[in-house]
Amino acid sequence: MIQRQRVRALNEKPVRKGDYVLYWMQASQRAECNHALQYAVRRANELRLPVVVFFGLTAHFPEANERAYAFMLEGLSEVRSALEKAGILMVARSVPPDRGAAEMAERAALAVVDRGYLRIQKSWRAKAAAAVECSLVEVESDVVVPVETASPKEEYSAATFRPKVRALWKEFLVPLRERRPVKDGSCLSFESLDLNDIDGLLGRLDIDRSVGRSPFFKGGTGEAMQRLRRFLRRGLSHFAELRNIPTLDGQSHLSPYLHFGQISPLRIALLAMKAEARAREAFLEELLVRRELSMNFVHYNPGYDDFSSAPAWARKTLDAHAGDDRPAVYTIEELEKGRTRDPYWNAAQNEMRVKGKMHGYMRMYWGKKILEWTPRPENAFRLAMHLNNKYEIDGRDPNGFAGVAWCFGKHDRPWGERAAFGSVRSMTAGGLCRKFDADAYVRLIEGLIPPRA
Protein backbone atom coordinates (compact mmCIF):
# COMPACT_ATOMS: atom_id res chain seq x y z
CA MET A 1 0.00 0.00 0.00
CA ILE A 2 1.25 3.49 -0.90
CA GLN A 3 -0.58 5.96 1.31
CA ARG A 4 -1.58 9.25 -0.30
CA GLN A 5 0.29 11.16 2.44
CA ARG A 6 3.57 9.80 1.07
CA VAL A 7 3.03 11.34 -2.37
CA ARG A 8 3.60 15.01 -3.27
CA ALA A 9 3.89 16.77 -6.63
CA LEU A 10 7.03 18.93 -6.75
CA ASN A 11 5.93 20.92 -9.78
CA GLU A 12 2.79 21.60 -11.81
CA LYS A 13 4.02 20.16 -15.09
CA PRO A 14 2.11 17.43 -16.91
CA VAL A 15 2.54 13.74 -17.42
CA ARG A 16 3.33 13.64 -21.14
CA LYS A 17 4.20 11.26 -23.92
CA GLY A 18 7.57 9.68 -23.28
CA ASP A 19 9.72 6.59 -23.61
CA TYR A 20 9.76 5.57 -19.93
CA VAL A 21 8.93 6.55 -16.37
CA LEU A 22 12.01 7.80 -14.57
CA TYR A 23 12.71 6.99 -10.93
CA TRP A 24 15.43 9.25 -9.61
CA MET A 25 16.81 7.13 -6.77
CA GLN A 26 18.87 9.18 -4.36
CA ALA A 27 17.89 8.59 -0.71
CA SER A 28 16.15 5.19 -0.88
CA GLN A 29 19.01 3.14 -2.30
CA ARG A 30 17.27 -0.24 -2.49
CA ALA A 31 15.15 -2.36 -4.82
CA GLU A 32 12.93 -3.83 -2.07
CA CYS A 33 10.19 -2.23 0.05
CA ASN A 34 10.72 1.10 -1.68
CA HIS A 35 7.52 3.17 -1.99
CA ALA A 36 9.08 5.56 -4.52
CA LEU A 37 10.20 2.71 -6.80
CA GLN A 38 6.85 0.98 -6.49
CA TYR A 39 4.99 4.20 -7.27
CA ALA A 40 7.10 4.56 -10.44
CA VAL A 41 6.39 0.93 -11.40
CA ARG A 42 2.64 1.35 -10.91
CA ARG A 43 2.47 4.54 -12.93
CA ALA A 44 4.64 2.99 -15.64
CA ASN A 45 2.31 -0.01 -15.83
CA GLU A 46 -0.68 2.32 -16.20
CA LEU A 47 1.13 4.09 -19.06
CA ARG A 48 2.41 0.82 -20.55
CA LEU A 49 5.99 2.10 -20.30
CA PRO A 50 9.23 0.69 -18.85
CA VAL A 51 10.92 2.11 -15.75
CA VAL A 52 14.41 3.59 -15.79
CA VAL A 53 16.21 4.27 -12.50
CA PHE A 54 18.79 7.06 -12.27
CA PHE A 55 21.37 7.70 -9.56
CA GLY A 56 23.53 10.83 -9.46
CA LEU A 57 26.97 10.13 -7.99
CA THR A 58 28.27 13.46 -6.73
CA ALA A 59 31.75 13.71 -5.28
CA HIS A 60 30.75 16.79 -3.31
CA PHE A 61 28.30 15.65 -0.67
CA PRO A 62 29.23 17.72 2.41
CA GLU A 63 31.72 15.94 4.70
CA ALA A 64 31.44 12.57 2.95
CA ASN A 65 34.69 10.66 2.41
CA GLU A 66 36.00 7.37 1.03
CA ARG A 67 34.49 5.40 3.93
CA ALA A 68 30.99 6.63 3.13
CA TYR A 69 31.37 6.37 -0.65
CA ALA A 70 32.68 2.79 -0.53
CA PHE A 71 29.78 1.67 1.66
CA MET A 72 27.29 3.42 -0.63
CA LEU A 73 28.76 1.96 -3.83
CA GLU A 74 28.66 -1.56 -2.39
CA GLY A 75 24.95 -1.08 -1.91
CA LEU A 76 24.35 0.48 -5.33
CA SER A 77 26.08 -2.40 -7.08
CA GLU A 78 23.63 -4.77 -5.44
CA VAL A 79 20.68 -2.52 -6.36
CA ARG A 80 21.66 -2.52 -10.02
CA SER A 81 21.72 -6.32 -10.11
CA ALA A 82 18.33 -6.62 -8.37
CA LEU A 83 16.72 -4.10 -10.72
CA GLU A 84 18.16 -5.83 -13.78
CA LYS A 85 16.45 -9.07 -12.72
CA ALA A 86 13.15 -7.18 -12.57
CA GLY A 87 13.57 -5.74 -16.07
CA ILE A 88 14.52 -2.26 -14.85
CA LEU A 89 17.54 -0.44 -16.25
CA MET A 90 19.67 1.49 -13.76
CA VAL A 91 21.76 4.41 -14.98
CA ALA A 92 24.41 6.00 -12.74
CA ARG A 93 26.35 9.08 -13.74
CA SER A 94 29.00 11.18 -12.05
CA VAL A 95 27.09 14.46 -12.16
CA PRO A 96 25.27 16.69 -9.68
CA PRO A 97 22.10 14.67 -8.97
CA ASP A 98 19.66 17.46 -9.85
CA ARG A 99 21.33 18.10 -13.20
CA GLY A 100 21.55 14.42 -14.02
CA ALA A 101 17.88 13.90 -13.14
CA ALA A 102 16.87 16.76 -15.43
CA GLU A 103 18.91 15.28 -18.29
CA MET A 104 17.44 11.82 -17.76
CA ALA A 105 13.91 13.27 -17.65
CA GLU A 106 14.17 14.71 -21.18
CA ARG A 107 12.58 11.55 -22.64
CA ALA A 108 10.47 10.67 -19.60
CA ALA A 109 6.69 10.76 -19.42
CA LEU A 110 6.88 11.21 -15.66
CA ALA A 111 9.65 11.47 -13.08
CA VAL A 112 9.52 10.17 -9.52
CA VAL A 113 11.98 10.87 -6.70
CA ASP A 114 12.35 9.66 -3.13
CA ARG A 115 12.52 12.11 -0.24
CA GLY A 116 15.42 13.57 1.72
CA TYR A 117 15.28 15.95 4.68
CA LEU A 118 18.66 17.68 4.67
CA ARG A 119 19.21 21.09 3.05
CA ILE A 120 21.25 19.70 0.16
CA GLN A 121 18.66 17.00 -0.56
CA LYS A 122 15.83 19.53 -0.57
CA SER A 123 17.86 21.84 -2.82
CA TRP A 124 18.50 19.07 -5.38
CA ARG A 125 14.79 18.28 -5.63
CA ALA A 126 13.74 21.92 -5.92
CA LYS A 127 16.25 22.57 -8.71
CA ALA A 128 15.24 19.45 -10.61
CA ALA A 129 11.53 20.26 -10.24
CA ALA A 130 12.12 23.62 -11.90
CA ALA A 131 14.34 22.19 -14.65
CA VAL A 132 12.35 19.17 -15.86
CA GLU A 133 9.54 19.55 -18.40
CA CYS A 134 7.42 16.71 -17.05
CA SER A 135 5.71 16.08 -13.73
CA LEU A 136 8.11 15.35 -10.85
CA VAL A 137 6.50 13.47 -7.96
CA GLU A 138 8.18 12.93 -4.59
CA VAL A 139 7.34 9.73 -2.67
CA GLU A 140 8.42 9.39 0.97
CA SER A 141 9.88 5.96 1.70
CA ASP A 142 12.49 6.20 4.46
CA VAL A 143 10.15 6.73 7.41
CA VAL A 144 7.13 4.72 8.50
CA VAL A 145 4.95 7.79 9.16
CA PRO A 146 5.49 10.71 6.74
CA VAL A 147 7.06 13.68 8.50
CA GLU A 148 4.29 16.26 8.08
CA THR A 149 1.65 13.64 8.81
CA ALA A 150 3.33 12.78 12.10
CA SER A 151 3.49 16.44 13.15
CA PRO A 152 3.05 19.86 11.48
CA LYS A 153 5.82 21.43 13.62
CA GLU A 154 9.15 20.79 15.30
CA GLU A 155 8.53 18.69 18.38
CA TYR A 156 10.02 19.58 21.77
CA SER A 157 10.91 16.03 22.76
CA ALA A 158 10.10 12.36 22.36
CA ALA A 159 7.43 12.82 25.04
CA THR A 160 5.48 15.24 22.83
CA PHE A 161 6.16 13.35 19.59
CA ARG A 162 5.49 9.80 20.79
CA PRO A 163 1.69 9.92 21.21
CA LYS A 164 1.26 11.61 17.82
CA VAL A 165 3.30 9.11 15.85
CA ARG A 166 2.07 6.05 17.73
CA ALA A 167 -1.53 6.99 16.96
CA LEU A 168 -0.68 6.63 13.26
CA TRP A 169 1.12 3.29 13.35
CA LYS A 170 -1.97 1.27 12.53
CA GLU A 171 -2.46 3.22 9.31
CA PHE A 172 1.16 3.12 8.16
CA LEU A 173 2.55 -0.14 9.56
CA VAL A 174 1.21 -2.11 6.60
CA PRO A 175 3.18 -4.14 4.01
CA LEU A 176 4.05 -2.69 0.63
CA ARG A 177 2.91 -4.97 -2.16
CA GLU A 178 5.74 -5.45 -4.66
CA ARG A 179 4.84 -5.25 -8.35
CA ARG A 180 6.98 -5.83 -11.40
CA PRO A 181 6.97 -3.64 -14.51
CA VAL A 182 4.94 -4.99 -17.41
CA LYS A 183 7.39 -3.45 -19.90
CA ASP A 184 11.01 -4.57 -19.87
CA GLY A 185 13.36 -1.59 -19.91
CA SER A 186 16.65 -3.49 -19.94
CA CYS A 187 16.95 -3.08 -23.71
CA LEU A 188 17.09 0.73 -23.45
CA SER A 189 20.51 2.24 -23.99
CA PHE A 190 22.15 4.96 -21.87
CA GLU A 191 25.70 5.80 -20.91
CA SER A 192 26.28 4.73 -17.32
CA LEU A 193 29.00 4.18 -14.76
CA ASP A 194 29.91 0.55 -14.12
CA LEU A 195 28.62 0.07 -10.59
CA ASN A 196 30.34 -3.30 -10.37
CA ASP A 197 33.74 -1.60 -10.58
CA ILE A 198 33.71 -0.16 -7.05
CA ASP A 199 37.48 0.22 -6.76
CA GLY A 200 37.68 1.92 -10.15
CA LEU A 201 34.89 4.34 -9.30
CA LEU A 202 36.44 5.19 -5.95
CA GLY A 203 39.77 5.80 -7.65
CA ARG A 204 38.26 8.25 -10.14
CA LEU A 205 36.19 10.23 -7.63
CA ASP A 206 37.72 13.45 -6.32
CA ILE A 207 36.85 12.75 -2.66
CA ASP A 208 38.40 13.05 0.80
CA ARG A 209 40.55 9.94 1.32
CA SER A 210 41.64 10.69 4.89
CA VAL A 211 39.17 8.09 6.24
CA GLY A 212 39.28 4.71 4.52
CA ARG A 213 36.79 1.87 4.28
CA SER A 214 35.51 0.17 7.38
CA PRO A 215 36.65 -3.45 7.71
CA PHE A 216 33.62 -4.12 9.93
CA PHE A 217 30.71 -2.95 7.74
CA LYS A 218 29.92 -3.84 4.15
CA GLY A 219 27.15 -1.99 2.33
CA GLY A 220 24.06 -3.44 0.68
CA THR A 221 20.54 -4.68 1.33
CA GLY A 222 21.71 -8.29 1.54
CA GLU A 223 24.16 -7.48 4.33
CA ALA A 224 21.51 -5.41 6.10
CA MET A 225 19.03 -8.28 5.97
CA GLN A 226 21.60 -10.70 7.38
CA ARG A 227 22.21 -8.36 10.30
CA LEU A 228 18.48 -7.89 10.82
CA ARG A 229 17.72 -11.64 10.83
CA ARG A 230 20.60 -12.26 13.26
CA PHE A 231 19.33 -9.50 15.54
CA LEU A 232 15.74 -10.76 15.46
CA ARG A 233 16.93 -14.27 16.22
CA ARG A 234 19.45 -13.47 18.96
CA GLY A 235 19.17 -9.87 20.12
CA LEU A 236 15.64 -8.50 20.02
CA SER A 237 14.37 -10.39 23.06
CA HIS A 238 17.16 -8.86 25.20
CA PHE A 239 17.37 -5.45 23.51
CA ALA A 240 15.85 -3.48 26.40
CA GLU A 241 18.38 -4.86 28.89
CA LEU A 242 21.49 -4.97 26.68
CA ARG A 243 21.25 -2.03 24.28
CA ASN A 244 23.18 0.34 26.60
CA ILE A 245 25.95 -2.10 27.51
CA PRO A 246 28.80 -1.59 25.00
CA THR A 247 30.63 -4.78 25.94
CA LEU A 248 27.70 -6.92 24.81
CA ASP A 249 26.35 -7.24 21.28
CA GLY A 250 22.84 -5.99 22.06
CA GLN A 251 22.25 -3.60 19.15
CA SER A 252 20.97 -4.20 15.63
CA HIS A 253 23.82 -2.29 13.87
CA LEU A 254 21.37 -1.23 11.15
CA SER A 255 21.89 2.55 11.32
CA PRO A 256 24.49 2.67 8.47
CA TYR A 257 22.06 0.79 6.23
CA LEU A 258 19.13 3.00 7.19
CA HIS A 259 21.26 6.08 6.52
CA PHE A 260 21.82 5.10 2.90
CA GLY A 261 18.30 3.76 2.44
CA GLN A 262 19.66 0.25 1.89
CA ILE A 263 16.95 -1.21 4.09
CA SER A 264 13.41 0.00 4.74
CA PRO A 265 12.39 1.01 8.28
CA LEU A 266 8.94 -0.35 7.43
CA ARG A 267 10.37 -3.77 6.62
CA ILE A 268 12.39 -3.79 9.84
CA ALA A 269 9.36 -2.78 11.90
CA LEU A 270 7.01 -5.35 10.34
CA LEU A 271 9.47 -8.17 11.03
CA ALA A 272 10.06 -6.94 14.59
CA MET A 273 6.30 -6.75 15.17
CA LYS A 274 6.13 -10.52 14.90
CA ALA A 275 8.08 -10.82 18.13
CA GLU A 276 6.52 -10.93 21.60
CA ALA A 277 5.22 -7.47 22.56
CA ARG A 278 7.50 -6.82 25.55
CA ALA A 279 10.60 -7.73 23.57
CA ARG A 280 9.84 -5.45 20.64
CA GLU A 281 8.69 -2.35 22.53
CA ALA A 282 12.11 -0.82 23.28
CA PHE A 283 13.35 -1.51 19.74
CA LEU A 284 10.30 0.08 18.10
CA GLU A 285 10.77 3.10 20.36
CA GLU A 286 14.24 3.59 18.87
CA LEU A 287 13.23 2.85 15.27
CA LEU A 288 9.84 4.54 15.01
CA VAL A 289 9.89 7.24 17.69
CA ARG A 290 13.48 8.38 18.23
CA ARG A 291 14.61 7.94 14.63
CA GLU A 292 11.56 9.65 13.16
CA LEU A 293 11.84 12.43 15.76
CA SER A 294 15.25 13.15 14.22
CA MET A 295 13.60 13.56 10.80
CA ASN A 296 11.12 15.96 12.41
CA PHE A 297 14.09 17.90 13.82
CA VAL A 298 16.08 18.36 10.62
CA HIS A 299 12.97 18.98 8.50
CA TYR A 300 11.58 21.78 10.63
CA ASN A 301 14.78 23.26 12.09
CA PRO A 302 16.97 24.90 9.40
CA GLY A 303 19.89 25.17 11.84
CA TYR A 304 19.98 21.45 12.65
CA ASP A 305 23.78 21.30 12.32
CA ASP A 306 24.47 24.42 14.39
CA PHE A 307 24.46 25.26 18.11
CA SER A 308 21.47 27.52 17.44
CA SER A 309 19.34 24.35 17.13
CA ALA A 310 19.70 23.68 20.88
CA PRO A 311 16.70 24.86 22.92
CA ALA A 312 16.82 28.40 24.32
CA TRP A 313 17.13 27.22 27.93
CA ALA A 314 20.17 25.09 27.03
CA ARG A 315 21.92 27.82 25.08
CA LYS A 316 21.34 30.26 27.93
CA THR A 317 22.73 28.00 30.66
CA LEU A 318 25.70 26.84 28.57
CA ASP A 319 26.60 30.43 27.68
CA ALA A 320 26.40 31.35 31.37
CA HIS A 321 28.89 28.58 32.21
CA ALA A 322 31.22 29.08 29.23
CA GLY A 323 33.80 30.71 31.50
CA ASP A 324 33.87 27.85 34.02
CA ASP A 325 37.16 26.08 34.66
CA ARG A 326 37.48 22.93 32.54
CA PRO A 327 39.02 19.69 33.83
CA ALA A 328 40.98 19.50 30.56
CA VAL A 329 41.19 21.17 27.15
CA TYR A 330 42.41 19.21 24.13
CA THR A 331 43.45 20.03 20.59
CA ILE A 332 41.44 18.63 17.71
CA GLU A 333 44.39 16.34 16.86
CA GLU A 334 44.42 14.90 20.39
CA LEU A 335 40.71 14.29 20.24
CA GLU A 336 40.74 12.86 16.75
CA LYS A 337 43.44 10.32 17.66
CA GLY A 338 41.88 9.43 21.02
CA ARG A 339 44.71 10.86 23.11
CA THR A 340 42.95 12.31 26.14
CA ARG A 341 43.40 11.36 29.79
CA ASP A 342 40.01 9.64 29.75
CA PRO A 343 40.47 6.00 28.62
CA TYR A 344 36.72 5.50 28.14
CA TRP A 345 36.40 8.51 25.84
CA ASN A 346 39.49 7.41 23.93
CA ALA A 347 37.97 3.97 23.43
CA ALA A 348 34.74 5.48 22.09
CA GLN A 349 36.63 7.73 19.66
CA ASN A 350 38.79 4.82 18.52
CA GLU A 351 35.78 2.60 18.02
CA MET A 352 34.31 5.20 15.69
CA ARG A 353 37.63 5.90 13.98
CA VAL A 354 38.40 2.23 13.29
CA LYS A 355 34.99 0.60 12.87
CA GLY A 356 32.96 3.47 11.43
CA LYS A 357 30.28 3.15 14.09
CA MET A 358 30.39 3.95 17.80
CA HIS A 359 28.13 2.26 20.32
CA GLY A 360 25.08 4.48 20.87
CA TYR A 361 25.45 4.79 24.63
CA MET A 362 29.11 5.71 24.32
CA ARG A 363 28.29 8.33 21.71
CA MET A 364 26.24 10.18 24.36
CA TYR A 365 29.17 10.10 26.80
CA TRP A 366 31.57 11.05 24.00
CA GLY A 367 29.56 14.16 23.08
CA LYS A 368 29.05 15.23 26.69
CA LYS A 369 32.80 15.14 27.39
CA ILE A 370 33.55 17.25 24.30
CA LEU A 371 31.16 19.82 25.75
CA GLU A 372 32.88 19.62 29.14
CA TRP A 373 36.37 19.99 27.64
CA THR A 374 35.65 22.87 25.24
CA PRO A 375 35.37 26.42 26.64
CA ARG A 376 32.70 27.69 24.24
CA PRO A 377 29.58 25.53 23.65
CA GLU A 378 29.26 26.58 20.00
CA ASN A 379 32.83 25.41 19.40
CA ALA A 380 32.10 22.13 21.16
CA PHE A 381 29.03 21.63 18.98
CA ARG A 382 31.03 22.19 15.78
CA LEU A 383 33.79 19.87 16.95
CA ALA A 384 31.42 17.04 17.88
CA MET A 385 29.57 17.41 14.59
CA HIS A 386 32.82 17.38 12.61
CA LEU A 387 34.15 14.21 14.23
CA ASN A 388 30.81 12.42 14.05
CA ASN A 389 30.33 13.22 10.37
CA LYS A 390 33.91 12.39 9.46
CA TYR A 391 34.16 8.91 10.97
CA GLU A 392 30.62 7.53 11.33
CA ILE A 393 29.29 5.68 8.29
CA ASP A 394 25.90 6.99 9.39
CA GLY A 395 27.20 10.53 9.92
CA ARG A 396 25.59 13.39 7.96
CA ASP A 397 22.26 11.82 8.94
CA PRO A 398 19.20 13.19 10.79
CA ASN A 399 19.88 10.68 13.57
CA GLY A 400 23.46 11.93 13.87
CA PHE A 401 22.48 15.60 13.87
CA ALA A 402 19.83 14.95 16.52
CA GLY A 403 22.25 12.81 18.55
CA VAL A 404 24.88 15.54 18.71
CA ALA A 405 22.25 18.18 19.48
CA TRP A 406 20.93 15.96 22.33
CA CYS A 407 24.29 16.27 24.05
CA PHE A 408 23.62 20.02 24.13
CA GLY A 409 20.08 19.76 25.53
CA LYS A 410 17.96 19.05 22.44
CA HIS A 411 14.93 16.82 23.11
CA ASP A 412 15.87 16.86 26.83
CA ARG A 413 14.96 18.89 29.93
CA PRO A 414 16.94 20.94 32.47
CA TRP A 415 18.79 19.01 35.19
CA GLY A 416 20.68 20.09 38.30
CA GLU A 417 23.29 22.82 37.88
CA ARG A 418 26.89 21.68 37.31
CA ALA A 419 30.11 23.39 36.29
CA ALA A 420 30.58 23.65 32.49
CA PHE A 421 27.19 22.01 31.82
CA GLY A 422 24.91 24.42 33.66
CA SER A 423 21.55 22.67 33.75
CA VAL A 424 22.25 20.53 30.66
CA ARG A 425 22.46 16.83 31.55
CA SER A 426 26.00 15.65 32.27
CA MET A 427 27.59 12.21 32.09
CA THR A 428 30.60 11.03 34.11
CA ALA A 429 33.15 8.23 34.02
CA GLY A 430 31.83 7.08 37.38
CA GLY A 431 28.37 6.76 35.87
CA LEU A 432 29.74 4.55 33.10
CA CYS A 433 31.49 2.28 35.57
CA ARG A 434 28.32 1.87 37.62
CA LYS A 435 26.34 0.92 34.52
CA PHE A 436 28.73 -1.61 32.96
CA ASP A 437 32.34 -2.81 32.99
CA ALA A 438 33.88 0.23 31.31
CA ASP A 439 37.41 -1.16 31.59
CA ALA A 440 36.31 -4.26 29.69
CA TYR A 441 35.02 -1.92 26.96
CA VAL A 442 38.45 -0.27 26.76
CA ARG A 443 40.12 -3.67 26.38
CA LEU A 444 37.59 -4.67 23.73
CA ILE A 445 38.32 -1.61 21.61
CA GLU A 446 42.10 -1.91 22.10
CA GLY A 447 41.82 -5.34 20.51
CA LEU A 448 40.34 -3.77 17.37
CA ILE A 449 43.05 -1.20 16.78
CA PRO A 450 45.69 -2.28 14.26
CA PRO A 451 49.33 -1.86 15.30
CA ARG A 452 50.61 1.72 14.88
CA ALA A 453 47.08 2.98 14.09
Give Cβ neighbours of residue 166 (< 8 Å, ≥ 6 apart).
288, 289
Say whether pTM exceeds 0.85. yes
The confidence score (pLDDT) of residue 200 equals 96
Instruction: Give the HSE-up count for residue 391: Cα atoms under 13 Å, Cβ half-sphere.
Output: 23
Instruction: Give the HSE-up count for residue 260: Cα atoms under 13 Å, Cβ half-sphere.
Output: 31
- CATH architecture of the domain 1-142 equals 3-Layer(aba) Sandwich (3.40)
| Structural domain spans, the chain | 1-142, 144-176+221-300, 307-446
Top-tier CATH class for 144-176+221-300: mainly alpha
Q: Which of 172, 157, 178 is nearest to 269 (CA)?
A: 172
Top-tier CATH class for 307-446: mainly alpha
Q: Digits of tens for pLDDT over the chain (453 positions)? A: 899 999 999 999 999 999 999 999 999 999 999 999 999 999 999 999 999 999 999 998 999 999 999 999 999 999 999 999 999 999 999 999 999 999 999 999 999 999 999 999 999 999 999 999 999 999 999 999 999 999 999 999 999 999 999 999 999 999 999 999 999 998 899 999 999 999 999 999 999 999 999 999 999 999 999 999 999 998 899 999 999 999 998 999 999 999 999 999 999 999 999 988 778 999 999 999 999 999 999 999 999 999 999 999 999 999 999 999 999 999 999 999 999 999 999 999 999 999 999 999 999 999 999 999 999 999 999 999 999 999 999 999 999 999 999 999 999 999 999 999 999 999 999 999 999 999 999 999 999 887 654
- Backbone Cα Rg of the chain: 22
Phi-psi region of 63 (alpha: psi -120 to 50; beta: other; left: phi over 0): left
